[in-house]
Amino acid sequence: MRVVVVGGVAGGMSAATRMRRLDESAEIVVFERGPEVSYANCGLPYYVGGTIADRSSLLLQTPASLHRRFRLDVRVRHEVVRIDTATKSLDVVDLDTGLRSTEAYDKLILAPGARPRRDEPTSTIPTLSLRTVDDADRIHRALVHAAVPVVVVGGGYTGLEAVENLVARGARVTLVQRGGQLLSPLDVEMAAPIAAAVRERGVDVRLGAQIARIEDGAVILDDGTAIPAELVIDASGVVPESQLAVDAGLRIGETGGIWVDETCRTSDPDVLAVGDGVEKQELIAGESTLVTMAGLANRHGRMVADIIAGRAETARPALGTGIVKVFDIVAAKAGWSEKQLRAAGREFYIVHVHPVSHAGYYPGAETLSMKLLADPASDRILGAQIVGRDGVDKRIDVIATAMHAGLPAAELAQLELAYAPQFGSAKDAVNFLGYVAENTRTGTTPTVQWHELDAALASGATLVDVRTASEFAAGAIPGAVNVPLDELREHIDELPGGPLVVHCQVGLRGHLATRILTQRGLAVRNLDGGYRTWRDGTAAS
Amino acid sequence: MRVVVVGGVAGGMSAATRMRRLDESAEIVVFERGPEVSYANCGLPYYVGGTIADRSSLLLQTPASLHRRFRLDVRVRHEVVRIDTATKSLDVVDLDTGLRSTEAYDKLILAPGARPRRDEPTSTIPTLSLRTVDDADRIHRALVHAAVPVVVVGGGYTGLEAVENLVARGARVTLVQRGGQLLSPLDVEMAAPIAAAVRERGVDVRLGAQIARIEDGAVILDDGTAIPAELVIDASGVVPESQLAVDAGLRIGETGGIWVDETCRTSDPDVLAVGDGVEKQELIAGESTLVTMAGLANRHGRMVADIIAGRAETARPALGTGIVKVFDIVAAKAGWSEKQLRAAGREFYIVHVHPVSHAGYYPGAETLSMKLLADPASDRILGAQIVGRDGVDKRIDVIATAMHAGLPAAELAQLELAYAPQFGSAKDAVNFLGYVAENTRTGTTPTVQWHELDAALASGATLVDVRTASEFAAGAIPGAVNVPLDELREHIDELPGGPLVVHCQVGLRGHLATRILTQRGLAVRNLDGGYRTWRDGTAAS
């Protein structure tokens, strides 16, 4: 059997090596357009920034090492330019010699990846992406002196990693983001602390801005602002490299990615496809989507080898789990955001909590901001977002595992997680999130969201701040009256008769106040996530 | 309604505060024998060691603060000495005045906790446990000068935390452990690196040793060795404080803990019980067990308030998830160990892997040692153990969540965990564990365990070390022949015809070698976990 793989990075190389492990006798050929295979693309920003000092540590394998260990026939700088599914053959151009040849396959695995969405602008300023070792090398070389002015376009995962590492190299960085917030997979109140942390490091963050044109030495925004730039990093997004599949007559999905079934077979059963060039089914609504994550590419790459070897495997629906660290802040998500659910007209309830990353009595505990979205009827978890400094990765992984398994939101309270004071709390942050979810869904404590507060107050509700007098004095929501929780029972008769909204700093004392007042017959709701979520949300809006 | 709580630390106080949140009108009385309520008992070792500098940070609440916020009637230094379930009353002694009174209850919540297993030895050397603030204060005071000789009895979670913190205070520490390994919830090959790490810090670790007697200035072991000691810390285990329940005629389980049903009701429906004094149902075999973990105490405490308030809740079976950090090594487990499964006659298969805590190309990646035990028929996960320096807590929490949800071992490979190079790998350690589990269970790569190797070699198998020549030279398993993996295909004809065992450093190259050789028709098994697991296991045996 001759198996041909097009694309030799994450998904393609996972497929080729697993294929060998399952079949010593197969002939396995890998064509890669670029000069390197199997490089650590998620490490590229850190090579630019200097955290990864040794360029060779990015290069995980070479054609020679892959031949020695796996007997793979890896041909770099070979571009596949045409696939003929009728004759099961493809045309390949050797980019060094220009020679064109035809290669036969029994099974073909496409792992073409994605390319930057933007066309190369005509500009005298270098405009680079950060997807290949060559990109990273060129950025490295462009940072020729201290304080090189650089514009990064796009405030997503890659853009934020680029910003951190350019700052580490001493560059003067402007981050231009089309939308009104950074990290658009998150909701606005969750993303707000990220913009604040990035600005704190001296980065000029321009939200709601687009590049109109690039001039010599400057990027001109659509509002006319000229930003000095000697280098532009394009992290504005990618599109699937699907042209080869299009030309071959393979089915393309509505997203523009190569269509595949749950075994990663394309519309031609002898052609399988994986990675950023392929559309996936996602978990929440079963929709087709583009998720450009290395983990999925690797997993599906391995799976197509299993499929070719005759094993019964299917791809699991994608959660879209993602994480990014920028300076000392970490943000992560899984599933859908509130704005996605709202746009899709889905029913959902929301929980914001701000627990500590480990026992508060042990040094180094940091506050986490967590948001959970769940279905009010089934309690199915629809999405989670976490922002903090420590312990973010652990909590998103636990919630992603719960989502994968279909655990309801309230069941998060029941997880028996490992507790020692360095790592968590007797009630871990995830347990706490589950308890608050249950209190919210069952109506034990009705809540109001930060973006619903104005409407609630406009319709006559009174806002009661149950924090201490000193917290109130240090910054309060306009219109709030201050009745500290520990004095609330004595002052109930002084509260107005109409509906109440109570709040504290993070939501816990507000919950206690809501319980006290509800049992006295008052109509009361707790401001979900407290002052902190309200402050983050309103600051960003 | 009058709710009386006996015991005011983790479980009791969770019950009392949740009770108030659900019922503003209930009268809630808490009796606590000690001088403090709601203290951070898991923080006590770190107060002794100085990591927690401020003693007051251990004291999370006071009777006054609990009255202000929750209207609880908390009476410290009040010992409940008798319960009369017929009249629904109890006798209480005020330990300061000696006055005895009788208190009525509608619902009674017992949270008596556990006490050290050993009787107080008659000795001139102070022998202290580490369960109360008073214990910690006394240890603090006993460390009067540098290099105080201290004997810690018991190498479990608490003993190891005590050791670390005594060393931090400059004490000369000997750790005496009855069994042949530290941290008995783990299997011997997993625990071996912990003993090594502790010894590296100058601690005299005595395994398989018991204390015969304590003399003036010395502890005498059963082999006659005299160990100088000015202080003995007893961390040899605890037993449930069940006498009050026994005397009240409540049912006691076979474990010696108070028997409760899945709602934490005792044999008297108006008496509920939670925490270390109570036996729990565990997940793997549904057996009754004693698990003394703060998380369960808190969770069940909260639940009994829900039960009393008429909510339908049930306790989930306990996983026994645990974690401990000692110096720079972290060890964690969930579910059952190999020795437990073996003793119970259960069918199981074993996987050892040693992946990195995050992408190897990013600085700071540390090797994790992971062990998984699963049912060969159903693939149900029966237990997991993880030892390492970074990322241990995350992986045990993900696996505990998977176990809670009933995910099979192979499904660990499918979890979509968050990947950025600081936090994990495109194939996370947990994914990798799932892949190896699948390869093992399906027979894709048959394995042999470190403790089965001698028998395999004795019955005629040849051991082939597929590491490089320099790895082989640096330390090899006796009797192994060295054929580096990348040269294996050329040397297949030179291998003996009989059964083979192959191995590498951690198991991955051995897996590749097994795949190559199996497909050539040879009878071959891979040494699970490679040289590293074999070395840890044999060093400890």
Q: Is the ipTM of this complex over 0.90?
A: yes
CA of residue B31 relative to chain centroid, distance = 30
Residues forming a β-bridge with A388: A330
Q: How many Cα neighbours within 13 Å face the side chain of B381? A: 31
Residues from chain B contacting residue A401 (CB–CB below 8 Å): 398, 401-402, 405, 407, 415, 417
What is the overall mean pLDDT for chain B? 96
DSSP annotation of A493 reads G
pLDDT for A118 equals: 74
In angstroms, rounded to a whole number, what is the distance separating the alpha carbons of residues A72 and B433? 25
Residues from chain B contacting residue A68 (CB–CB below 8 Å): 486
Residues B30/B80, Cβ–Cβ less than 8 Å: no
Q: What average pLDDT does this structure show over A323-350?
A: 98
Residues from chain A contacting residue B58 (CB–CB below 8 Å): 361
pLDDT for B144 equals: 83
Q: Kindly report the length of chain A.
A: 541
Residues from chain A contacting residue B444 (CB–CB below 8 Å): 22
pLDDT for B121 equals: 58
Q: How many Cα neighbours within 13 Å face the side chain of A124? A: 5
In angstroms, rounded to a whole number, what is the distance separating the alpha carbons of residues B400 and A474? 42
Residues from chain B contacting residue A319 (CB–CB below 8 Å): 416
pLDDT for A122 equals: 64
A62: contact with B, CB 8 A cutoff:
no
CB-closest option in B319, B397, B421 to A398: B397
Q: Which of A139-148, B53-62, B296-305 has the highest mean pLDDT?
A: B296-305
Active site residues of A: 504
Helix ranges (H only) for A85-168 are 133-142, 157-168
Question: Would you say residue A541 has pLDDT above 80?
Answer: no
Q: What is the dihedral of CA A529, A532, A535, A538, to 10 degrees?
A: -30
Interface contact flag, A24 B325, Cβ < 8 Å? no
pLDDT band at A216 (very low <50, low <70, confident <90, very high): confident
In angstroms, rounded to a whole number, what is the distance separating the alpha carbons of residues B405 and B205? 39
Residues from chain A contacting residue B417 (CB–CB below 8 Å): 295, 321, 397, 400-401
Q: What average pLDDT does this structure show over B386-390?
A: 97
A423: contact with B, CB 8 A cutoff:
yes
Q: Which residues lie closer than 8 Å to B212 by C-beta, 6 or more apart?
A: B220, B221, B222, B224
Residues B233/B151, Cβ–Cβ less than 8 Å: yes
| DSSP class per residue in B320-335 | --EEEEETTEEEEEEE
Cα distances from B83 to residues B241, B246, B272, in angstroms, run 14, 10, 13
A489-501 residue pLDDT tens: 999 999 988 999 9
In angstroms, rounded to a whole number, what is the distance separating the alpha carbons of residues B296 and B283? 13
For chains A and B, CB pairs below 8 A equal 229
Residues forming a β-bridge with B268: none
CB-closest option in A401, A427, A485 to B402: A401
Place of tokens 């051991």: B463
In angstroms, rounded to a whole number, what is the distance separating the alpha carbons of residues A22 and A24? 7
Q: What average pLDDT does this structure show over B469-478?
A: 97
Minimum mean pLDDT range among A227-231, A285-289, B141-145 = B141-145
- A127-147 burial, b at 16+ Cβ within 10 Å, e below that, comes to bbbbbbbebbebbeebbeeee
Annotated active-site residue B42? The verdict is no
| DSSP class per residue in A296-362 | HHHHHHHHHHHHHTT----PPPB---EEEEETTEEEEEEE--HHHHHHTT---EEEEE--BSS-TTS
B402 to chain A: closest CA residue = A401
Place of tokens 């699963």: B374
Q: What average pLDDT does this structure show over A111-122?
A: 80
A424-483 residue pLDDT tens: 999 999 999 999 999 999 999 999 999 999 999 999 999 999 999 999 999 999 999 999
Residues 513-532 of B with CB under 8 A from A: 515-516, 519-520
Q: What average pLDDT does this structure show over B148-160?
A: 96
Residues A272/A300, Cβ–Cβ less than 8 Å: no
Please give the single-letter amino acid code of residue A187.
Answer: D
Interface contact flag, B52 A414, Cβ < 8 Å? no
pLDDT band at B394 (very low <50, low <70, confident <90, very high): very high
A397: contact with B, CB 8 A cutoff:
yes
CB atoms within 10 A of CB A243: 13
A362-379 residue pLDDT tens: 999 999 999 999 999 999
B25: contact with A, CB 8 A cutoff:
yes
Domains observed in chain A: 2-115+239-308 (3.50.50.60), 127-236 (3.50.50.60), 328-441 (3.50.50.60), 447-540 (3.40.250.10)
Nearest to B330 by CA among B136, B194, B150: B194
Q: Where on the phi/psi map is residue A88: left (φ > 0), alpha (ψ -120 to 50), or beta?
A: left
Interface contact flag, B319 A416, Cβ < 8 Å? yes
Give percent above pLDDT 90 in chain B: 93
Question: Would you say residue A17 has pLDDT above 80?
Answer: yes
Cα separation of the two ends of chain B: 59
pLDDT for B123 equals: 72
B415: contact with A, CB 8 A cutoff:
yes
Distance from CA of A194 to the nearest CA of B (A): 17
In angstroms, rounded to a whole number, what is the distance separating the alpha carbons of residues B151 and B155? 11
pLDDT for B371 equals: 98
- Kindly name the residue from B10, B284, B504, B506 that is annotated as catalytic: B504
Q: What is the 3-state secondary structure (H, E, C) of B335-399?
A: ECCHHHHHHCCCCCEEEEECCECCCCCCCCCCECEEEEEECCCCCEEEEEEEEECCCHHHHHHHH
Residues B47/B58, Cβ–Cβ less than 8 Å: yes
CB-closest option in B294, B417, B427 to A419: B294
| DSSP class per residue in A63-97 | HHHHHHHH--EEEETEEEEEEETTTTEEEEEETTT
Residues forming a β-bridge with A518: none
B426 to chain A: closest CA residue = A295
Cα distances from B96 to residues A230, B59, B79, B81, B99, in angstroms, run 78, 21, 10, 15, 8
pLDDT for B466 equals: 98
Residue B105, H or E segment: none
| DSSP class per residue in A32-58 | ESSS-SSB-GGGHHHHHHTSS--GGGG
Interface contact flag, A294 B43, Cβ < 8 Å? no
Q: What is the dihedral of CA B384, B387, B389, B393, to 10 degrees?
A: 20
CB-closest option in A157, A419, A512 to B293: A419
Residues from chain B contacting residue A422 (CB–CB below 8 Å): 325
Place of tokens 């997680």: A417
A299: contact with B, CB 8 A cutoff:
yes
Question: Would you say residue B120 has pLDDT above 70?
Answer: no
Residues forming a β-bridge with B217: none
Distance from CA of B409 to the nearest CA of A (A): 13
Residues A30/A73, Cβ–Cβ less than 8 Å: yes
